[in-house]
Structure 1
Amino acid sequence: MPESTWSARYSRLLTRLLPPTLLARLTVLMVFGVLVTQLLGGLIWAAQLRSKSENEASVAARHLGHSAAGAIRFYMSLPANYRPILIQQLREMGGTRFFVNANSGPLIIHPIAAQSLADRVVEQVGATLKEDLPFLPGFRLAFAWPNDLAVSNDGLKVTDLPDSWVQHILLIKPNPAPVLVIQAELEPGNWLYLAALMPNPYFLDGDNPLSLDRLLLQGLSLATVLLLSILVVRWTTRPLAALSDAAEAFGKGETVPELPETGSREFVKTARAFSAMRERIKRYLDDRERLFVSISHDLRTPITRLKLRTELLDDDALRAEFHEDLDELDMMVKGALQSVKDSDIHENKTEVRLDALIQRMIRDARMAGHEVAFVASGLTVMAKPLALKRAIGNLFDNALHYGEKVEISVEKIAGNGGDERGDSVHIRIRDHGPGVPEAALLSLFQPYTRLEHGRDQNVHGMGLGLGIARNIVQAHGGQLQLANHAAGGLVANIILPLK
């Protein structure tokens, strides 16, 4: 597949996924970037934390294994009947590194849930014991919780022992820690029971990146970064939104206050360039209007002189032809001037009730004998009243000239995404005339363009009405569309933004 096709598909995919506004897009990208960075950083940190915890646990397990091997050798050196006496004396003295007991057989230990770090410690301690005590037949090792941990063959448990025997050796308050139990068979029928905490009793929490305190810290840092990112994005895009609103208002002919030259250097340069462009366009429009007025005034004098000289011609037919040409030239000059004036009506926008505006036109048309169908809609739009009336009036007059019957409808069309700011009002004017050839639809907006049937039915027209109407509608931020109706006739559709 060509690279351009992939690029086009990628662009369309991004357009569908990303929200439409610059503020929302930058916010999404910033949030996505922060989340990805936090995720990758968290994964790297978790991997390092797990590796560190495994190394520390392995070192601690080796030391614990060597200590347990030394204790086992010590008790093996004692006579079997003397071991319980020594164990009791050590308990009364305050205990040792291990809780020690002598049993006649191995005890059943309920191990904790399987965890890779605990299994690694058990494996390391077992390997150290086998290395230090190769002559012993075997060992039984497991981590167990102290709440239900048996310590002797008669069913005695850790919780049944005096606190002085097990406090800080097997029990830690308020949160218990897993206890490592080592059972070794010294002689047949004589088992040595060793139980102890790891140097770091809560070593199993060391490789857990999702502990509550760490999650809280990560959440606070993430929320802080996201909040700062959103504030920076809003601070960056707010001047652009103001520039966009100013450009849209200026394009509709509204009075726009000067943009504040504050903010970043790039925005200040853009604001100055926009202000300079606006002044140039205003000067151009003023010059154009003065030019048309001057041309109209200057042409009227020679046209009038030519008409007077035409009256001196003796040939009546030639005089009539001259008069016809001069009248047509006079109408073209007046039409050009009228086109400029109608497209540039200086007035403020206000709330316009469409029903009242259209019904006034319909009342005059019905008094003249025309058949017009209209159903009230109750809709209003923000528009320049005289300009909008001129645009609708031009289309309505065309429909009356070229069709035997006219239908007008007004309806509200919801925008995409359910946002009311995207809603629009459609004003459709349909005549029941002959319609327009499809190839000629686009050319109807050009000045002085008239079709054959238009010249016959509206001899006084100049072909400027549609262009004037489209310019007015576009100045309101809308569109004017022309299309042939399936049942005959032409449909003119004015689309205006509701908000």
Structure 2
Amino acid sequence: MLDRLRRLRLPGHILPSSLQGRLTLVMVIGVLLTQLAGNIIWAAQRRAEAREEVRTAAQHLAHSASSAVRFFLSLPPNYRPLIIQQFREMGGTRFLVNINRAPVPVRSLGGQELTDTALAQVRATLKEDLPNARKLQIAFAWPDRLPVDDEGILLAEMPETWTQHIMLPKPAPVLLIQVELEPGTWMYLATLMPNPYFLETGNPLTRDRLLLQALSLAAVLLVSILVVRWIIRPLAALSEAATAFGKGENPPALPETGSREFVTTARAFEDMRKRIQRYMEDRERLFVSISHDLRTPIMRLKLRTELLDEEAMRDEFHDDLDELDMMVKGALQTVKDSDIHENATEVRLDALLGRMVRDAQLAGHEVSFTASGQMVTAKPLALKRAIGNLLNNALYYGARVELAVGENAGNIEIVVRDHGPGVPEEALAGLGQPYVRLEHGRSRNSGGMGLGLSIARGIVQAHGGELLLANAPDGGFQATIVLPGGLFNPG
């Protein structure tokens, strides 16, 4: 079902992005299609049954009408009004009978499937039972404006005892049969179908049934949503644990409960987390050991270099050993700065950046910053170190530095922009890699190792954010820290 939805290429705002939303949408569509198909089949069967019931009822009613017509044909014409009067005094019969000089014009009720079926069956049965009938008129009409005789008397104006079998509290269509007995003599027969409200059976989707369908759909959807939430709840816990672990936190172990697939996934995640933790610990120990072990031979080489007689060679050895010592310290710093063990808390960016700006201004640098009132959930020391690395780079290569904080699409953006020469476009892709330094960077800051951007990027990524590096539109270079989630404006 999801594949079919994808092939439909629904717009992103229609197809939910969450698993719960997509499963719920699939269930809603599935239930609606099932009910629609079921209703179509049921309605077709119900209409077929209604047509058969109406055809049978019309046939029996036509037989009764033909018997009444034959009875009146057998009577002398002057006895017919007496018999009709007796019928009326006795409280009426199935038929309201009258003798007219001509057929009474009526506003027929037609154009509906069941009425057409009933009229066709009545006509066929009467022609079969009364083959010698001169003329025949059959129609359905509503009783409110139905005339009874050729003088224009309405059915509603007749005594209630005469029409009690026809005039119901809720109006029902009246079957009117008019047969010519002799020239100038028409017999008028009015009656109701055995099921007076047979027209309602032609519409299976009544209000009560639609209400029942809606209640059933709501109950199914409610249960479906609860089941979907119950199924995906472990996935949400897994997602939260993975996010927390990616930010350097140590979340509790996932409970091994739920479906077999989730238990297997939880165990695999725990095994992966333990392996990564062991790797990080081993890496830190390795770098510390290498740094410690290399410092001793480096120091010995420096001491032996002092014994060299040739001053030029001695200086070259000193420069190489100093560079080697700086590389070892830089590698150890990269590990430590990327893995700062502290808890995340709410950081006031105005206070954090304000202190950094004041320190830079006291050192004689031109730095500007406008307070924003924004706060962010982060590791304070790690975030300060990342921003500090970007600020130091900007101070080295730019004559003037601007710091700005803004909010964009629910994310906090910290922008460090300098007014220096910028970076060649072809070199932007390689920035942020360890030990990557550009030519103008070496000339301006010969003591650097090209680790500042790499450390800053690692810290930002550990917060679940992103470091964007680009040339400013009107000159200079800007670095943007984008931190998602957990953000608010205290106002």
Bin for the TM-score computed over the shorter chain: over 0.9
Give CA deviations for 1:36-87 in whole Å, capped at 9, x if unaligned. Answer: 2111211221122112211221222222222212221221111111111112
Show the counterpart of 2:38: 41
Residue of structure 1 in register with 2:15 after alignment: 18
2:472 to 472, 482, 485: 485
Mean CA deviation greater in 328-337 or 114-123 = 114-123
CA displacement, residues 440-471 of structure 1 (integer Å, 9 cap, x when unaligned): 11212111111111111111111001011011
Aligned length: 484
Matching residue of 1:171 = 167
1:380-399 CA distance string (max 9 Å, x none): 11111000000100000000
Query: What is the distance in 2 between the residues matched to 1:93 and 1:11?
Result: 71
Tell me how far apart the structure 1 counterparts of residues 439 and 479 of structure 2 sit (CA, whole Å).
19
- Partner of 1:82, secondary structure, is helix
Quote how far apart the aligned CAs of 1:156 are.
Answer: 3.4
Deviation string 1:257-313 (CA, Å, 9 cap, x unpaired) is 222222212112211211221111111111111111111111111111211221222
Matched, 1:435 2:422: yes
| Equivalent in the alignment of 1:333 | 328
Distance 1:280 1:256 in 2: 15
Amino acid at match of 1:63: H
1:466 aligns with 2:453: yes
Distance 2:227 2:20 in 1: 10
2:439 matches 1:452: yes
Q: Which residue, out of 271, 277, 281, partners 2:266?
A: 271
- Are residue 228 (structure 1) and residue 223 (structure 2) matched? yes
Q: Aligned pair 1:190/2:190, yes or no?
A: no
Aligned equivalents of 1:82 and 1:299: distance in 2? Answer: 137
Change (3 A) 1:279 1:11: farther
Q: Which position in structure 1 is the counterpart of 2:236?
A: 241
Residue aligned with 1:454, SS? helix
Aligned pairs (5 A) from 1:246-325: 246-325=241-320
Contact persistence 2:43–2:205 (CA under 8 A)? no
Superposition deviation, residue 439 in structure 1:
1.4
How far apart, CA to CA, are the structure 1 residues paired with 2:257 and 2:4?
A: 37
- Secondary structure at 1:25 match in 2: helix
Query: Aligned to 1:42, what secondary structure does the other structure show?
Result: helix
| 1:200 match | 195
The match for 2:489 is none
Secondary structure of 1:370's match?
coil
Partner of 1:418: none
Classify 1:271/1:226 alpha carbon distance in 2 versus 1 (closer, same or farther; 3 Å): same
1:147 aligns with 2:144: yes
Q: TM-score, with normalisation over the residues of structure 2?
A: 0.94
CA distance in 2, matches of 1:444, 1:83: 114
On the 8 A contact 2:102/2:150 being kept in 1, the answer is yes
Say whether the 8 Å CA contact 2:110–2:140 is kept in structure 1.
no
1:7, distance to aligned residue in structure 2 (A): 11
Check the 8 A contact 2:367/2:401 in 1, yes or no.
Answer: yes
Match of 1:93 among 86, 90, 113: 90
Deviation of residue 13 (structure 1)?
3.8
1:104-154 deviation per Cα after TM superposition (whole angstroms, max 9, x unaligned): 222232334642211221122122222322322322222122233332334
In structure 2, what is the equivalent of residue 359 of structure 1?
Answer: 354
Does 2:137 correspond to 1:130? Answer: no
Q: Which runs of 5+ in 2 are unaligned?
A: 487-491
Residue among 478, 483, 486 paired with 1:496: 483
Q: Cα gap change, 1:390/1:236 in structure 2, threshold over 3 Å: closer, same or farther?
A: same
Which residue type is aligned with residue 134 of structure 2?
P
Q: For 1:192, what is the secondary structure of its paired residue?
A: strand
* Deviations, residues 402-438 of structure 1 (Å, cap 9, x unaligned): 011111111111x2xxxxxxx0111111111111111
The corresponding residue for 1:32 is: 29
Q: Distance in 2 between matches of 1:7 and 1:225?
A: 22
- RMSD over aligned Cα, in angstroms? 2.0
- How far is the alpha carbon of 1:8 from its aligned partner? 13
Which of 207, 210, 215 is the equivalent residue of 2:205?
210
CA distance in structure 1 between the partners assigned to 2:4 and 2:40 by the alignment = 32
CA distance in 2, matches of 1:252, 1:394: 20
2:344 counterpart letter in structure 1: K
Q: State the distance in 2 between where 1:204 and 1:250 align.
A: 68
More displaced, 113-122 or 47-56?
113-122
Alpha-carbon distance between aligned partners in 2 of 1:291 and 1:154, rounded to the nearest angstrom: 117
TM-superposed deviation, 1:339: 0.6
Q: Which moved more, 1:59-68 or 1:438-447?
A: 59-68
Letter aligned with residue 303 of structure 2: L
CA distance 1:270–1:9, shift in 2 (3 Å): closer
Q: Distance in 2 between matches of 1:86 and 1:236?
A: 79
Partners in 2 of 1:11 and 1:449 — Cα distance? 47
Identity of aligned residues (%): 65
1:15 CA drift (Å): 4.6
| Residue in 2 that maps onto 1:419 | none
Amino acid at match of 1:382: T
* Aligned CA distance change for structure 1 residues 9 and 60 (closer, same or farther; 3 Å): closer
C-alpha distance in 2 between matches for 1:427 and 1:438:
22
Q: Give yes or no for contact 2:110–2:116 (8 Å, CA) kept in 1.
A: no
Q: Select 1:346's aligned residue among 341, 353, 366.
A: 341
**What amino acid does structure 2 have at the position aligned with 1:40?**
A
Residues 308-340 of structure 1, C-alpha deviations (whole Å, 9 max, x = no match):
221222222111111111111111111111111
Within 2, Cα distance between the matches of 1:138 and 1:282? Answer: 102
SS class of match (1:101)? strand
